[in-house]
Amino acid sequence: MKQNLYKFKLLTLTLLTIWSISGNAQTFKTNAQLLKTINANYLSGMAQYKVMMSLLEGDRFPKTFDVKTGKLVTSDSGWWCSGFYPGTLLELYAKTKDPVLLTETNRILGHLVKEQYNTTTHDLGFMMYCSFGNALMNDPKPEYKAVLLNSAKSLSTRFDPKIGCIKSWDSKKKEFLVIIDNMMNLELLFWATRTTGDSSYYKIAVTHANTTMKNHFRPDYSSYHVINYNPETGAVQKKQTAQGYADESAWARGQAWGLYGYTVMYRETRDQRYLDQANHIASFILKHPNLPKDKIPYWDFNAPDIPDALRDASAGAVMSSALFELAHYAGNKQANMYFKAAEKMLQSLSAAPYQSLPGTNGGFLLQHSVGHLPQHSEVDVPLTYADYYYVEAMKRYETINSFK
């Protein structure tokens, strides 16, 4: 009985969602030249990823490219970024229909599939939904569905109801660590509930988002990177920003994860609180005095060496993609602001200095991203997630007036 009631509520929510999107539809004026550039980007992207394929060995997954050695820096399938390479391949294949891309996707998915049972990471949304989720949309095979359901089950094992969150990083200390990035992994759980009718996944996602909204954000709606909870009481022990300039600074990609995550939360629940949160985060980003004119953020909004601080193309790509979606949910004035900002980000990423020259950069599409500057890791380099969200932003721009 409860299961049937939940399915009824889910159907009602789906109908309200369709009505809401169509009833408040915005019409956005796209730039003809940018659309031509995007079409060219798909073709150059296909060529670039063939370069990457030629450099990739065995069961390894690309992370970045070392200019000094001329070699890809790679990982095994357990690295949190492993899903972005097949995900980008599938997005490029969807536009170009080049069978080489699909063959490579199927090959690399064969090495990734075992991660569906990985309970040691919170990043299964990145790893499995960005890969097998795209594969399912491209070709709805039951085995892809099974992989995603197992992935959602594995992710759910990291949820602690006492904390109200999914654990991000394991620790031997008396702490329960949650990072803002984890908002990006909730989409997998919403998919699992829609697919199975099992509301437990939905409830975990909502509880995690609510706890994060309560504890991760400052009064100006900037976000900490890491919240350290007491695993026994659920109390906040410390607020940190590990990959940013300082604990109280606004690490750019962290702000992007929050923006994207709460936009997804509103899409999946239609809860006004999440739309308000996404709007607040967008306002912090777009009205910040340190946001450059080209709209590609510095790696941290409070970096001490601005305007000479490094930019982060990955943060710009995530922001652009998120803002294109958020524009469909916001009021007219906000919607236009979001669209124009996202469009500018996309234009900037599609030109120098962010766009790679053909045959260079290890096959990556974008340059100038920052992974973890405080640890001197992946600094001013190409990154797989920058490419993934850049291609997603291009797709969303092309379909902006027929948004799905």
- Say yes or no to pLDDT of 234 above 70: yes
User: What is the pLDDT, as a whole number, of residue 1?
Assistant: 41
**CA atoms of 200 and 144, how far apart (whole Å):** 21
Give the whole-angstrom CA distance, residue 246 versus residue 311: 17
Predicted local distance difference test score (pLDDT) of residue 267: 98
Q: Which of 146, 91, 152 is nearest to 118 (CA)?
A: 152
- For 122-150, letters b (16+ CB in 10 Å) and e give bbbbbbbbbbbbbbbeeeeeeebbebbbb
Q: What is the pLDDT of residues 56-75, one digit of tens each?
A: 999 999 999 999 999 999 99
Q: Which two tokens stand for residue 332?
A: 């007219």
What radius of gyration, in Å, describes the C-alpha atoms of the chain?
20
* Confidence band for 17, pLDDT divided at 50, 70 and 90: very low
Q: What was the pLDDT predicted at 26? A: 78
Lowest pLDDT segment from 12-21, 68-77, 210-219, 303-312: 12-21
pLDDT tens, position by position, 239-288: 999 999 999 999 999 999 999 999 999 999 999 999 999 999 999 999 99
* 213, 216, 219, 220: CA torsion to nearest 10: -100
Amino acid in the structure at residue 388: Y
Q: Which residues pair with 178 in a beta bridge?
A: 227
| Residue 76 annotated as catalytic | no
Cβ atoms of residues 76 and 392 within 8 Å:
no
* 112 alpha carbon, distance to own chain's centre: 19
Rounded mean pLDDT of the chain? 94
State which amino acid sits at residue 347. Answer: Q
Confidence at residue 23, expressed as pLDDT on a 0 to 100 scale? 40
CA–CA–CA angle 286, 288, 294 (5° rounding): 60
From the candidates 66, 160, 181, 271, give the one annotated as an active-site residue: 181
Are 257 and 267 in contact, with CB atoms under 8 Å apart?
no
Per-residue exposure over 206-235, b if at least 16 CB sit within 10 Å of its own CB, e if not = bbbbbbbbebbbeeebbbbbbbbbebeeee
- Residue 19 pLDDT class (50, 70, 90 cuts): very low
| Nearest partner of 318 among 84, 158, 114, judged by Cα | 84
Q: Do the Cβ atoms of 259 and 319 come closer than 8 Å?
A: yes
User: Is 300 a known active-site residue?
Assistant: no
On the CB side of 145, CA atoms within 13 Å amount to 8
Q: Measured on CA atoms in the order 360, 396, 283, 268, is the torsion positive or negative? A: negative
Cβ contact 384:84 at 8 Å? yes
Q: Which of 123, 300, 312, 387 is catalytic?
A: 123
pLDDT digits (tens, 9 = 90+) for 148-161: 999 999 999 999 99
pLDDT at residue 10 in the model: 52
What's the average model confidence in pLDDT over 352-378? 98
* Model confidence, pTM: 0.94
Q: Is the pLDDT of residue 15 over 50?
A: no
Task: Note the pLDDT of residue 46.
Answer: 98
Q: Tell me the C-alpha distance between 180 and 123, whole Å.
A: 12
Domains within the chain, CATH numbers bracketed:
2-402 (1.50.10.10)
pLDDT of residue 403: 76
What average pLDDT does this structure show over 327-349? 97
